[in-house]
Structure 1
């Protein structure tokens, strides 16, 4: 039986032209099985079927199972390039079940995914709902607000996992991210100095609003994959990013549990913490014996910065 190997994936990548999707037969004697690399760099195993199954297995460690319909109905098993080894394992197990054991393609895919899921079942605890909400917001901001200006070095500035005062710390600018699933941009401030700009530096406050629902667009796994894809081959930044994730309790086993919440991004606003921004006065001193203070702010009525203003400030990081 012709196996799927990393060398075959590499050869397809080399043969693929920019913005092109390329496929080849998984084996010369089977025209109902294809492997390929799509224009976005994803790796695919396509299996021809007569009818789409009533349900598909949930995503596994970044591996997705979808239905493609054209002149032929296909089961499409795909992953991004950094999950190549796992996709290769799954693809070969599926092809063995179809070719050697004579199993139905759809059933083979479902059973293989479940077998691998069971083998990878995590031994570490799940992230709580509040931890997922907060982490999702930080990752969204890292990818969509900070990365376009700062590039991969933003991973080195991500200080939230170190329990520092602010989530991102640069030489000239600090950034604090707060995320909520409420209908209004109300956020809890958990430290007395959290909305204080360090001496000689500027402080940005980023308010992220999400909707949490079973039909949400993304999970934490999608956010993690998005950033890893953007970091590409910057091994140093990838190592730092993965280390920070681990500090916050992320582990790859979370992908195959039912613990990951689904979110839909609703809105983001960026403010500079200065002037009339709602916060305790910088010179506020709590009464003797008060060791911590938590309070809530609502930024819904404040004017936010536009994209050009944010990028101008971030250029000082």
Structure 2
């Protein structure tokens, strides 16, 4: 907890006038609490929008214009951005810092500026803090490892469809890739759970690959979920639109840095291998049931032991795999 966060936490819930303090002296950005004890960021309303105007609303934050009395200041209209969930408090302070930075040399009124910054942060405000499970986090590690280390985030970000619930995690013009991540191995290779008969059905046009990655907890390793995200953001630092796209994809599976720390455990990569899924690949598909599925069977999932799939392996490193993944670029 930094000094500002600690000072914010010591504010009293107001019974009349709000108590608060400026983020930085003269910044025009005030930190306060509302009468429900929720954290608020305040800016003076210098627009012609009247009090009572609702400006922005998500499950994480809401913004409106209200007539308020702040400490020794007279009653006046303020832009009030309220944080509705204590789990967002840490990024909410970062949001206030972002407002302050954007106010330097601004050429718009405070309402327009606030809305612009809120929309920049909308990937966080729309994230479900309960959306990321341990299983989902492990799968996300595998997808990010493939996206950053193998496919290249600059060219393959558009092809990353895992967060949208696509049949395959990566879909390009000529190549699709299904990513499977395991924390354990069976026999001489990992075992992956295959969901349904369509997941490893060879493509009619193009090539389907299965990327298998095995990770193991290791406190001495330098890999974590957050570090993978940071590497991806750094690679996109000169392209704000693509950074926003990356963060939006992450938020759709429930990831947000301040909300996902419980899953940020260090790991090492035990193995990473790419397999070509063709007609002879040892997978169950609809072709495996020429007479059709039994009427009583409504869903199929099965385990695939990769130690029996070596004949279909085409690469064991990103360098070897790059030639197979050129068709991922959209």
May I ask how many residue pairs the two structures share in their alignment?
A: 197
Match of 1:180 in 2: 182
If you compute each CA radius of gyration, which structure gives the higher value, 1 or 2?
2
Alignment of 1:143-162 (within 5 A): 143-147=148-152, 151-162=153-164
Structure 1 residues not aligned, in runs of 5+: 1-82, 90-121
Match of 1:261 in 2: 265
1:53-106 Cα shifts (integer Å, max 9, x gaps): xxxxxxxxxxxxxxxxxxxxxxxxxxxxxx9x96xx7xxxxxxxxxxxxxxxxx
Contact 1:156 1:237 (8 Å CA) reproduced: no
Do the aligned partners of residues 192 and 275 (structure 1) sit closer, same or farther apart at CA in structure 2, a change above 3 Å counting?
Answer: closer
Match of 2:300 in 1: 293
Match of 2:323 in 1: 312
Alpha-carbon shift at residue 262 of structure 1 (Å): 2.4
Contact 2:207 2:276 (8 Å CA) reproduced: yes
2:203 is the counterpart of 1:194: no
Contact 1:129 1:261 (8 Å CA) reproduced: no
Contact 2:197 2:285 (8 Å CA) reproduced: no
Alpha-carbon shift at residue 215 of structure 1 (Å): 4.4
**Which segment drifts farther, 293-302 or 137-146?**
293-302
Match of 2:223 in 1: 218
Contact 2:198 2:285 (8 Å CA) reproduced: no
The normalised TM-score by structure 2 is 0.54
Contact 2:128 2:254 (8 Å CA) reproduced: no
- Work out the CA distance in 2 between the residues paired with 1:213 and 1:292: 36
Do the aligned partners of residues 123 and 166 (structure 1) sit closer, same or farther apart at CA in structure 2, a change above 3 Å counting?
Answer: closer
- Work out the CA distance in 1 between the residues paired with 2:285 and 2:174: 22
Do the aligned partners of residues 205 and 258 (structure 1) sit closer, same or farther apart at CA in structure 2, a change above 3 Å counting?
Answer: closer
Do the aligned partners of residues 134 and 123 (structure 1) sit closer, same or farther apart at CA in structure 2, a change above 3 Å counting?
Answer: closer
Alignment of 1:52-91 (within 5 A): none
Do the aligned partners of residues 266 and 309 (structure 1) sit closer, same or farther apart at CA in structure 2, a change above 3 Å counting?
Answer: closer
Contact 1:126 1:259 (8 Å CA) reproduced: no
Alpha-carbon shift at residue 123 of structure 1 (Å): 8.2
Q: Secondary structure at the match of 1:185?
A: strand
1:20-49 Cα shifts (integer Å, max 9, x gaps): xxxxxxxxxxxxxxxxxxxxxxxxxxxxxx
- Work out the CA distance in 2 between the residues paired with 1:278 and 1:237: 37
- Work out the CA distance in 2 between the residues paired with 1:314 and 1:153: 11
- Work out the CA distance in 2 between the residues paired with 1:206 and 1:138: 9
Do the aligned partners of residues 128 and 261 (structure 1) sit closer, same or farther apart at CA in structure 2, a change above 3 Å counting?
Answer: farther
1:217-248 Cα shifts (integer Å, max 9, x gaps): 32210110011111221222212111110111
Q: Secondary structure at the match of 1:152?
A: helix
Do the aligned partners of residues 288 and 123 (structure 1) sit closer, same or farther apart at CA in structure 2, a change above 3 Å counting?
Answer: closer
Match of 2:235 in 1: 230
- Work out the CA distance in 2 between the residues paired with 1:311 and 1:218: 22
1:266-296 Cα shifts (integer Å, max 9, x gaps): 2100010014322014423321132211101
- Work out the CA distance in 1 between the residues paired with 2:319 and 2:182: 25
Do the aligned partners of residues 308 and 262 (structure 1) sit closer, same or farther apart at CA in structure 2, a change above 3 Å counting?
Answer: closer
Q: Secondary structure at the match of 1:166?
A: coil
Structure 2 residues not aligned, in runs of 5+: 1-90, 98-126
What is the RMSD computed on CA atoms of the aligned residues? 2.6
Do the aligned partners of residues 126 and 259 (structure 1) sit closer, same or farther apart at CA in structure 2, a change above 3 Å counting?
Answer: farther
- Work out the CA distance in 2 between the residues paired with 1:243 and 1:312: 29
